[in-house]
Amino acid sequence: MRALAPATLLACGALYCTVSRTDVLPDDRADALATHYSGGGQDINGISFLVRKKVGDHVSLSYNHLEDIVSGASIDVRTSGASPYREKRTQDGLTGEFLYGKTTYSLGVTHSYEPDYRSNTANFGISQSMFGDLTTVSMTYRRTWNDVYKMECLLRDDALHYPCVEKIHDPAFGKKDMDERSYGVGLTQILTRNSIISANYEVITDQGWLSNPYREILYAEPGVGLGYGLAPEIDPNTRTSNALGLDYKYYLPWKAAVDLQYRYFEDTWQIRSHTAQIGYTQPWHNWTFDGSVRFYTQTRASFYSDLFSSPTQQNFMSRNRELSAFNEYTIGAGASYQFHVPYATWINKSTANFRIDHFIFDYKDFRDALLIDPGAGVEAGAEPLYKVQINVMQMFLSVWY
């Protein structure tokens, strides 16, 4: 929970069922993915499996399972004085797609479990191809129910790297509810024999406990300790966001593809963001290479501040760096090798894939509170801005059958 909000993962997992093609069901395939995330004091190792199989001519079923193990201590954990921790999350999802004429219906459910976060999602989608399959329009609806807990340490051993030996749900915090609804519409359009474009608009609305139970604000306390105090963040109980994304692909004459993406986002917390990405894919013999560059920028939430004047400065207060203003740059590269599996005649195609992405986060109003040192003249609010670099590696095998 402290590291990765599973509700967002559920949203991603729901993609398996809400992405509907035109009058063609998705290919039968199986994928096994291993991931490694490192940076900002955290390591996250994960695995994920996806199996998809047609049943007859009109039904396709898919099952996805993933596990993540988060370990370490982010800057938020260290600033609050908490210890490094280790936590496991699992998620399972089942999806059915039903093809009827030119219409594809999808229905899916997902369950995610963490010690301090339980999440259940149901989603429904419908897509319709028209104009000789040049155009596909789609609509999606997703509903998520989340239960939020806060863990507290019952048994400690400070000699260990992860000192908390046994954790329980904090009875004072209890259980908080958070519900999410998503409404999406999409259009995919073939433009020419070499180009295709997709546009998606999505409204997501949240209600309930939207604060992070572990994130704390900093408020000024001149002359006391390091010159600042800590208090729990208080986020509003509702949030509604709008996002419009565009994706354009062009087939180049030498058998390669260019991918251009843009997304505009805004929400009722006064956050605005722009995302732009360019990608290039080049096949070569049995290999397929691809590279991408992504730029992301966002403004801060209206109730965000790096340092508040007091713990009661305003009714909503957050120092959650995901709600601060920052720029983020990502450069990624991947390679895929297609190989033949001997004797397995039922396998049509198989690939081994590797991908690495490097992230640079450049925060504009989130400072590195660990560098506050009044004795050296670095007062709270004058410490350097925080920057972090993250590497994400993925290795996966895919087979089509």
Partner 1 sequence: MSLSRRIAGLAAALMLLAQLAACAPIQPWVKPYERERLADPIMAFDPDPVSSAYMEHVFEVRSAARGGNGAAGGGCGCN
Residue 134 in contact with partner 1, rule: CB under 8 A:
yes
Select from 157-165, 210-218, 356-364, 371-379 the region that touches partner 1 (CB under 8 A): 356-364
Distances (CA, A) of 54 to 20, 101, 171: 14, 16, 47
Least distance in angstroms from the C-beta of 372 to partner 1: 24
Least distance in angstroms from the C-beta of 144 to partner 1: 12
CA dist 89 and 100 (Å) reads 36
Q: ∠22-257-361 over CA atoms, to 5°?
A: 100
Residue 355 in contact with partner 1, rule: CB under 8 A:
yes
Query: Which H/E stretch holds residue 214?
Result: none
Report the residue number, 188 or 211, with the smaller CB distance to partner 1: 188
Q: How many residues bind partner 1 (CB under 8 A)?
A: 96
Report the residue number, 244 or 344, with the smaller CB distance to partner 1: 244
> What is the footprint of partner 1 within residues 96-125 (CB under 8 A)?
125
Tokens for 263, please give them: 């997304």
Among 46, 72, 108, 227, the residue binding partner 1 under the rule CB under 8 A is 46
Instruction: Let me know: does 63 contact 50? Beta carbons within 8 Å.
Output: yes
Among 117, 219, 228, 296, the residue binding partner 1 under the rule CB under 8 A is 296
Residue 131 in contact with partner 1, rule: CB under 8 A:
yes
Instruction: Let me know: does 307 contact 381? Beta carbons within 8 Å.
Output: yes
> What is the footprint of partner 1 within residues 55-94 (CB under 8 A)?
64
Residue 362 in contact with partner 1, rule: CB under 8 A:
no
CA dist 7 and 145 (Å) reads 9
Query: DSSP letters along 87-126, please?
Result: EEEEEEEEEEEEEETTEEEEEEEEEEEETTEEEEEEEEEE
CA dist 384 and 370 (Å) reads 10
Among 79, 114, 119, 186, the residue binding partner 1 under the rule CB under 8 A is 186
N residues, the chain: 401
Report the residue number, 153 or 197, with the smaller CB distance to partner 1: 197
Least distance in angstroms from the C-beta of 191 to partner 1: 8
> What is the footprint of partner 1 within residues 264-293 (CB under 8 A)?
264-265, 267, 269, 271, 273, 275, 281, 283, 288
What does the per-residue mask of binding to partner 1 show for 201-240, with x meaning CB under 8 A?
xxxx------------------------------------
Rg (CA), the chain: 23
Residue 8 in contact with partner 1, rule: CB under 8 A:
yes
Residue 303 in contact with partner 1, rule: CB under 8 A:
no
CA dist 76 and 133 (Å) reads 50
With b meaning 16 or more CB within 10 Å and e meaning fewer, what string describes 367-396? Answer: bbbeebeeeeebbbeebeebebebebebeb
Least distance in angstroms from the C-beta of 395 to partner 1: 10
Tokens for 333, please give them: 């590269």
CA dist 339 and 345 (Å) reads 13
Among 86, 143, 175, 255, the residue binding partner 1 under the rule CB under 8 A is 255
Among 56, 101, 132, 342, the residue binding partner 1 under the rule CB under 8 A is 132
CA dist 131 and 111 (Å) reads 38
Least distance in angstroms from the C-beta of 379 to partner 1: 28
